[in-house]
Structure 1
Amino acid sequence: MRVLGFWLVVLCVWGRRLSGSFSVSPTEKDSRVQYLGKFACNIGECKYHVRAGLKSPWRVLQKAARSMTSAQVMDTLSRTNSTARVVVRVVLDEEWETSHRMSACRRAELGRGRTTLTVPLDGSLGPWSTNSFRQSHRPHFWYFFAEDCRNSITSQLAKLGGVSAQDFAAYDINYELEMLQVDGGHLSFEYSGMLKWSVVQLFVYSGLVAWMFWKQMKQMKHQRFQLHLMTQILNVSCLSTLAASVLNILNLVKVNSTGSTFPLLEGLADAAHTLAHIAVSSCLILVALGVTLNAPQRLPGAVLKLLAALIAAAHIVVVLVDKYTSDSRYKYYGSEGPVGWVLVGFRLALWAIFLLCWQQTRADPRTPSSTERFLRRIVLPASAYFLTFPAIIALTPLVRPYLRHAFIYHSTFLVQTVAIIWLSELFLSKGEYFQVSQMSQSFLPVTTPPSPHPAQTP
């Protein structure tokens, strides 16, 4: 059976210091070539360091040489300093797709760089090997893969155990791969400038939070210090984006210096970004349902909150799954591939829910004409918000691979910022929404008017 086991012990999405292992089956030629990672290099010379080692060699040898006891296997490996050879090759992005039409071991012919690694057979990692590649016209993605097409490892183990190389089952190779940018940093080119833009995002949303707080304080003076439901949800969106910016900055600082990420920080940042988008979507759907408007409400508040929580949880799970596979060889940016289209499906489903609720509220004969006019005016900007993400995903393949992440990042940041500013003006000013919502109702206590006929005293 073909062994395709491949996993990363440390998944570095922004940084380029990878450590993990891959499986090789001596009887399956395609498994002798394994993808390690990719790196976008700027114009100039980029370097990489790599080393590898055989995982649990005593188990590999004992399964093949069944006549040997565990003690004999351990003694054989400890007495010898045998090593094998594994080759790491680098392929340019323009040749990567062509290489998939070839057999696995023929891909080595396309490699622009070759690094031969010494693999100790005692379970330890071998010495670091250093190489570099250069480009002069524009940035490129470079793909790294390891190959043992000559079965060097099993050949050496077969000599030690006195067995045939064909007797060996699949084995695992541990590796560490560090890729360095032209300036010595660890960030792949598609993430260049991310730290600067994360700081800009932090300042923008800090200003938005301060502005919204000021407007809310003015509004609460007239509402007996009651915070409006829509304002609460909008605060969640703004604060979530602010928190995501802080987490991204902390992660990027570590990545640029060490090449590895904090997986927890990265996961929390993605969850916060997702929560911010869901909060805005929830605001629009609740308005379409007539919540807080002078219109009949069809669903109780508890059901609405549960629905919003389920949608948010589903989004976050899909985003985290997408992040786990973000270093796949076919992906240049987050939300690419099948998981990305699942996210697009979520956004389109939210848009369909919004339109359905909007139509039902307008069609209800109990809905006032002023509320109906308000709903007609918000349907276009609200639909634009729901459809921008699918449009961005559809347009991204037209952009060069090393610019796609920046295109998505800046586009979604702009859309989210505009949406929050628009909704803040909508909910925090005495405009049309104020007139057709429950906010326009008096918050003063109702007093009983005096009777026109005072009671007669006896």
Structure 2
Amino acid sequence: MSVRTRCSFLVGVLVLRFMGAECKVQSGTLTFGGAAAEEQEQWRFLGKFGYAIGTGRYEIRLRLHNTLHEDQVLPRPDLEIFLDEDWPKQGRFSACKRAQDVPARKTHGMLVPGQLGEWGPWEVGMLYQTIRPHIWYFALSDCPDQIARGMPGNRSFGYTVDYEIRWRQFDDSELSLEMRYMPVATVLVLLMLTAMACWFLSKSRVLRQSLGRLHPVVRGLLFAVGLHWVSQALHLAHLLTYKKNGQGLPAADGLAEVLFMLSQVASASLLIAIAQGYTLIRSKLKEVELLVPVVTVITLLHVALVAIGKMQAEDFKYHENEGLVGWILLSVRLSLFAWFRSGIQRLRTAGGMKLQNFLRTFEIAGSAYFLAFPTIFILVQVLAPYLQHPILQTALLAVQTASWLWLADLFLKRGSYFEVSELSASMLPGARGRAELSSWQSSEFESCSRSGTRRRTAVWSRLPEGDEGKMSSSMGEYSRDSRIRTAHLGA
């Protein structure tokens, strides 16, 4: 059994070991302002859930934090449920008018909270989808006057309740529609990355034995693939834990998003470094102007955007790059694309035919990578809300994985990039680098030129009159032959 097969099999066994875990509940705490408070303090967004076609259900219970006095009435908030088609309109109405004017497609009235540390009863409702899947939005409202309901008493006090809610699909699955197939997709990506990483390590070992070293671009690629692998492993752990406790591992999920972003930054940095001449006309990364400080700023910006995205409210959030975060990322990727293209254009004026052929393919593949996120991000905006997250995430994972395969093929095989870059340095006679050979070629050429000049001067002084023209023609042919030999040596 090969190393790649053993690695993939091990990860598969570990993943399947936890796939049988079952989701339980989502919970939280909400505070209401009471009857005397402003309307916005009497209405609280609870959460959302995507239901597939069929009959889905929800179960909710409450627990009151406050200890009531004799003249205080037990608060009994309503559960208001809105359809995704109507939800964008809710911001145009006052909080206590939304159920009527948006409208709420269903109101589960007068939930009973438990007291003295005890939970109230589970209250169950059904929701139906017959034409297409929908995302349903849930909110708790304490707007109606309890006196109007025939329940006199003091309702001017604020209070806090804990809630627990279960959402179930028609088949009892408790994953929202947009996340329904993400555990399987993440497992497949993780298995693919594991096989790819094992292949990378195997090829890198062979390359190191052949060349005597691993170039920094190869080590950078291995590091970036490692970041991607760890990010998917953490994301899978979060999803499997979510299936178990309904809350997941928020810290692991956040770290997974950060590492996935960093792997994308690493990939973009490798492409830009090469486009700016690293390994082609520059042998040291620090010689690439502004690369290190700009990449550092971009890295910090991506980490900050992940943090901002995690803090966004979920009522209008359909994927991780929703809203302003996504548009900033789009602007950054387009700026990186412009930087990449400018480097390619400068390289075109500094290389021979082999370099031109390499740059043609490199520019097409690199441009496709930089433009992938802007294209995908814009396209998902026109999709139904429940489709945006799975399509965006799946497409980004596919693009990133494809970029690793392409870069690995570029760095680890003796193809066009190997021929025009300094990665082939250790394959030269005497294991000397390309920079050393170039220096040797230059000194030899200068030495030959100086020797040729001295010989021409000495011979010219001894020529009889009338033979200068013949000698001039001969020296011209000698000069052309010398240039041809030198060009052949430089190739």
Q: Which TM class, normalised by the smaller chain length? A: 0.7 to 0.9
Give the Cα separation in 1 of the matches to 2:172 and 2:384: 24
Give the Cα separation in 1 of the matches to 2:161 and 2:348: 63
Give the Cα separation in 1 of the matches to 2:202 and 2:99: 63
Residue 7 of structure 1: aligned partner: none
Residue 333 of structure 1: aligned partner: 319
Residue 340 of structure 2: aligned partner: 354
| 1:45–1:135 contact (8 Å) kept in structure 2 | yes
Residue 228 of structure 1: aligned partner: 215
1:202 positional shift: 1.3
1:207 positional shift: 1.6
1:187 positional shift: 0.8
Give the Cα separation in 1 of the matches to 2:121 and 2:365: 59
Q: 1:334 to 1:22 in 2, by over 3 A?
A: farther
Give the Cα separation in 2 of the matches to 1:433 and 1:185: 49
Residue identity opposite 1:20 in structure 2: T
Map 1:50-129 → 2, pairs under 5 A: 50-55=60-65, 57=66, 77=68, 82-109=73-100, 110-115=103-108, 116-119=110-113, 126-129=120-123
Task: Check if 1:254 corresponds to 2:206.
Answer: no
Residue 21 of structure 1: aligned partner: 30
Task: Check if 1:378 corresponds to 2:394.
Answer: no
1:36-78 deviations in Å (ceiling 9; x for gaps): 11100112222222233455x47xxxxxxxxxxxxxxxxxx46
| 1:295–1:368 contact (8 Å) kept in structure 2 | no
1:340-377 deviations in Å (ceiling 9; x for gaps): 111112212221222233334445x5x55643553343
Percent of aligned positions that are identical: 30
TM-score (normalizing by structure 1): 0.79
Task: Check if 1:175 corresponds to 2:163.
Answer: yes
Q: 1:213 to 1:121 in 2, by over 3 A?
A: closer
Q: 1:48 aligns with which of 54, 58, 70?
A: 58
Q: Which moved more, 1:102-111 or 1:404-413?
A: 102-111
Q: 1:333 to 1:18 in 2, by over 3 A?
A: farther
Give the Cα separation in 1 of the matches to 2:150 and 2:417: 77
Aligned residues: CA RMSD:
3.2
Residue 71 of structure 1: aligned partner: none
1:111 positional shift: 2.5
Give the Cα separation in 2 of the matches to 1:148 and 1:126: 17
Give the unaligned 5+ runs of structure 1. 1-13, 59-76, 450-458
Task: Check if 1:140 corresponds to 2:150.
Answer: no
Give the Cα separation in 2 of the matches to 1:49 and 1:385: 44
Residue 284 of structure 1: aligned partner: 271
Task: Check if 1:267 corresponds to 2:254.
Answer: yes
Q: Which moved more, 1:35-44 or 1:96-105?
A: 96-105
Choose between structure 1 and 2: higher strand proportion: 1
Residue identity opposite 1:142 in structure 2: W
1:125-166 deviations in Å (ceiling 9; x for gaps): 54432222222222111110111112549x999956xxx94x
Specify the SS of the correspondent of 1:39: strand
Give the Cα separation in 2 of the matches to 1:334 and 1:438: 40
Specify the SS of the correspondent of 2:210: coil
Q: Which moved more, 1:406-415 or 1:116-125?
A: 116-125
Residue 48 of structure 2: aligned partner: 38
1:29 positional shift: 2.3
| 1:295–1:361 contact (8 Å) kept in structure 2 | no
1:330 positional shift: 1.5
Residue 386 of structure 2: aligned partner: 402
Residue 454 of structure 1: aligned partner: none
1:153-209 deviations in Å (ceiling 9; x for gaps): 9x999956xxx94xx6x6554433332222223210111111111111112111211
Task: Check if 1:215 corresponds to 2:222.
Answer: no
Choose between structure 1 and 2: higher helix proportion: 2
Give the Cα separation in 2 of the matches to 1:85 and 1:205: 51
Q: Which moved more, 1:354-363 or 1:292-301?
A: 292-301
Q: Which moved more, 1:405-414 or 1:174-183?
A: 174-183
Task: Check if 1:243 corresponds to 2:243.
Answer: no
Q: 1:15 to 1:268 in 2, by over 3 A?
A: farther
Give the Cα separation in 2 of the matches to 1:241 and 1:405: 19
Q: 1:418 aligns with which of 377, 402, 410?
A: 402
TM-score (normalizing by structure 2): 0.74
